[in-house]
A and B are shown apart, each in its own frame.
Chain A
């Protein structure tokens, strides 16, 4: 979710800040996996990783100064010609109230800044491993919108995130240890789509971040697709060459109801997460920090 939020800002020509507290490597790695160019934006200064010292230092700064600092960042972005400003990051240090100021007070300041500057967006992350349930409930109360993208499955090797009806994103690796999940997911999605009144006829799995899958999984996917009703298709998008070759060796070309879109063809195609236009101002997200 974070990587997607940052990628959208870069694509729109906005100035993008990530306030780091030890998680920026994972976020940058995820963006690289998604083939989002980050080296250029970092070099040009479009993407800035704010160091953990400064991130933590913000929570020792008086609230009015935080407000002024944020406004100055936004105004500077505008002066430098960026089309907008967006920020996110790992702010869990503030949950410990290092200066005795509640986190909700910082959020109120940020909310005020975002009200004052239309071009600014912020995504506030509340990771369940870093915040208590009570804190997350409190933060839900002070944000106008909530974006949740809980992983449908996550075993550390493979993460499946549902992105809509009949749509999911797979990241990581599929092998003998977790392969039953994939056929379960596809069959469950097919069932939902078939039962829904106005559902799409495609089950779309975004595999852009899938680094590996084994032969048995590929065979299962091909055979599941062959079992689809004639009216429906299984569409795999963003498929990396390495994964594509496994499918090729498992008869994917002969499965009429299976469509594979290779990674290079996939950017901007259906199934690849597009900018949904969701207003992210002061939105909150739970559970997923990456």
Chain B
């Protein structure tokens, strides 16, 4: 079988950053960019603060405009286990943009910073934009991200400068001299660990020959949470894929932590290995790729899949609600 690997030539995304001094500034620019994109015949997808989006609609109408799903799912998580994962938002955005761009050859996306998602230090945005650079690199999309010139956290500015290949100024789009590739961004600013949960309901150490035990534990847990049969089976598959990666690419032994309640299922897989790819499973697999599909599918099946590293190894949290 001939495997055709991806090459940098596959990069098609135009990822631009713009900075605004006020909501009025953001609004004015958003209206201008929307009009320009519509005149080009592009579909325009918006992920702007609600008041700005309403103003854009009032100014240019709704024809040719779509609204992207909010970064935080409307069903707010109970335990906090699903909060603050930029890579999960990137996976969600990647899925949406892939579908939109399939039907519309020209696609312009306008997004804006939302301080409610900053977390403790604003690193969420750095992770989100780095992950987007991986997840939608091959899409012929113009993605313009607006950030405040003076955010609360300096990290928001530094991450925005590092992650965007293009800078939007009064004169239009130009190359950003501060741009870094996502691997470099994530090397210096690795994905952060999520909120710490209490002791797990189940802790299981397993190896390659005991993946059956991992699936058995999950089968029981999805039954407790009350997922529909197909959804429960898909979650078992998702966790199996992550658990397999841990013992195949990490260390011989790995650990599964499981929290199950009537409203949500949280799993963590921990191994002592070092990931070569800091954010696996974000890139849509090429049909000829023999590997790399498992975590990508797992990201599609879970409400959250967050990967992070620290001195003890690689860790993955997965979260799902019925």
Are the C-beta atoms of B294 and A216 separated by less than 8 Å?
yes
A227 touches B1 (CB 8 A): yes
Chain A residues, CB < 8 A from B247: 176
| A-contact 0/1 string along B261-302, CB 8 Å cutoff | 000000000000000000000000001101101100100100
Point out the residue from B1, B211, B288 that lies within 8 Å of A176, measured CB to CB. Answer: B211
A176, B248: Cβ atoms closer than 8 Å: yes
B118 in the interface (beta carbon within 8 A): no
A74 partner residues in chain B, CB cutoff 8 A: none
Interface of B is mostly: helix
How many chain A residues touch B (Cβ–Cβ < 8 Å)? 22
Which residues of chain A come closer than 8 Å to B29, judged between CB atoms? none
B233 at the interface (CB under 8 A from A): yes
**Interface residue B234 (Cβ < 8 Å from any Cβ of A):** yes
Residue among B237, B248, B288 with most chain A CB within 10 A: B237
| B244 proximity list for chain A (CB < 8 A) | 175-176, 214, 216
Task: Choose among A173, A226, A242, A249 the residue that contacts B297 (Cβ–Cβ < 8 A).
Answer: A249
B215 within 8 Å of A (CB atoms): yes
A245 interfacial by beta-carbon distance below 8 Å: yes
Chain A residues with CB below 8 A from B288, complex form: 223
Residues of A within 8 A of B209 (CB): 177
- On chain B, the number of residues with a Cβ less than 8 Å from chain A's Cβ atoms is 24
- Segment 164-183 of A: residues with Cβ below 8 Å from B: 173, 175-177
Q: List B contacts of A216 (CB < 8 A).
A: 244, 290-291, 293-294
B290 and A175 within 8 A (CB) = no
Q: Is B63 an interface residue (CB 8 A)?
A: no
Compute how far the CA of A267 lies from the CA of B211 in the bound complex, rounded to whole angstroms. 31
Q: Is B253 an interface residue (CB 8 A)?
A: no
- A157, A215, A226: the one contacting B1 at CB < 8 Å is A226
Contacting residues, chain B, for A106 (C-beta < 8 A): none
A227 contacts across to B, CB distance below 8 A:
1
Establish whether residues A220 and B240, one from each chain, have CB atoms under 8 Å apart when the complex forms: no
Q: Does B230 contact A (CB under 8 A)?
A: yes
Are A215 and B211 within 8 A (Cβ)? Answer: no
- A219 part of interface (Cβ distance < 8 Å): yes
Top 9 A-B pairs, shortest CB-CB distance? A215-B294, A242-B233, A176-B244, A175-B211, A177-B209, A251-B287, A215-B293, A249-B297, A177-B208
Add 16 more A-B contacts to A176-B247, A177-B209, A215-B294 (CB < 8 A). Answer: A177-B211, A212-B240, A214-B237, A214-B244, A215-B241, A216-B293, A219-B290, A223-B1, A223-B290, A226-B1, A241-B230, A242-B233, A245-B230, A246-B237, A250-B293, A251-B287
What residues of chain B have their CB less than 8 Å away from a CB belonging to chain A? 1, 208-209, 211-212, 215, 230, 233-234, 236-237, 240-241, 244, 247-248, 287-288, 290-291, 293-294, 297, 300
Binding site for B on A (CB under 8 A): 157, 173, 175-177, 212, 214-216, 219-220, 223, 226-227, 241-242, 245-246, 249-251, 254
